[in-house]
A = this chain, B = another copy of it.
Amino acid sequence: MEETVISLVGGGVTAPAGFAAGGVAAGIKRTGLDLAVLHADRPCAAAGVFTRNRVKAAPVLLDMERLPGGSGTARTVVMNSGNANACNGPRGMADARSCAREAGRLLGVPEEQVLVASTGVIGMPLPLDNLLRGLGGACAQLSREGGALAARAIMTTDTRPKERAAAFSAGGRLVTVGGMAKGSGMIHPDMATMLCFLTTDARVEAGDLRLLLSAAVEDTFNMITVDGDTSTNDLVLCLAAGEGPPLSKSGDLDFLDVALRLVCRELARDCAADGEGAGHLITVEAAGAASLGDARSCARRVAASSLVKTAVTGADANWGRVLCAAGYSGAVFDPDKAHVWLGDLLVAAGGAALAFDEDLARRILRRPEVTIRVDLGAGPYSATAWGCDLTEEYVRINASYRS
């Protein structure tokens, strides 16, 4: 029997068969692409994971209504950047419904099968006329190549589009999982996540898809942080367009699980690496924890620490800040048994400093990806979180976000 190989492939949301997308400049942002449409050639099993922020944007509320319990059927997703459509009162919900209705009309899809997502400034009404006008253009240009345009159209302060895809062979058929995401700011672990749209040509039950998606999000998007702020608009949607018998629970569904996790992990890392003002991707591996919860909490708190982040900014091997953050993470451990590594360099053992090569440490901290590892010496559990450094550029971006 052949071994199943799951590998990253090119493309994004339109990498799987059955999906088309497009992106246009609708005049929601001052300049640039700001409206995207993702469309499947048939109704799809759909799953969603949504922000846990009590203040939820109108598009999040609408999608939650259309995917009760996090799963259902959908065919089309309308996405805009430049405006979050959050904190707009009843008008926000009416506007979200109008978008879905118009996209449904243009594409001949029942409006209940249209999902929506927005990202941008909170508390400003959507420029609905621009948006509805733009929808005509976006729906007219839908194509497989349009995936790249859609990935650009959902960007806010992102500096680059984020597209990933993975494929494997199941029963002689190629199964592909694709995705795109936007990240950059208002990103923090205790969440559903930023915006991420996933697709697959696998045939999978909506309920199964929801379970796979939730588990993948827990280990990937819920393990990144940029600034400790959980957004009002975070969501991850996944559409599965496959036909025929669904993937079997004990066989090919496991491969889909791995492929989905792989795409989510890469997109999550992309989001952390492209955090607002970021110069470095910071990967924090917490090992030796007494529970999985402790490991996750420790990895996330170290990745979220402003002081750890600025130490990386300055290439300063200030490992005490790593132990300090582990100490307030809630993880149970004896500080005198904890070790800290920067890259492969052990800098503290048994909770105290080692004499280490400061020059080597500085070179490690100047790499584009900096790995910080902390072993709590308290048990067998481990987890990984991703973040980025905190720079003066982050402050500049966010001191003038609305202007």
Contacts and interface: CB of A to CB of B under 8 A. Distances in A.
Interface of A: 52-56, 84, 86-89, 91-92, 121-125, 185-186, 188, 190-191, 227-232, 304-307, 310-311, 313-314, 316-321, 323-328, 331-333, 335-336, 338, 348, 350-353, 390-392, 394-396, 398-403
A299 B107 CA distance: 46
B401 A318 contact: yes
Contacts of A338: 55
Contacts of A350: 89
A324 B124 contact: no
A400 B89 CA distance: 45
12 contacts: A87-B353, A89-B351, A89-B352, A121-B320, A229-B321, A231-B324, A232-B320, A232-B327, A306-B306, A310-B395, A314-B399, A314-B401
A323 B87 contact: yes
A396 B326 CA distance: 24
A284 B56 CA distance: 22
A87 B323 CA distance: 8
Nearest to A226: B306
Interface SS, A side: loop
Contacts of A402: 316-318
Contact of A324 (B91, B229, B313, B326): B229
A306 B398 contact: yes
A374 to B, nearest CB: 11
* Most chain B CB within a 10 A radius of its CB, from A55, A92, A321, A394: A55
Contacts of A188: 328
A46 to B, nearest CB: 25
A263 to B, nearest CB: 26
A165 B122 CA distance: 43
A157 to B, nearest CB: 12
Nearest to A52: B328
B228 A304 contact: yes
Contacts of A326: 54-55
Contacts of A232: 320, 323-324, 327
A188 B301 CA distance: 13
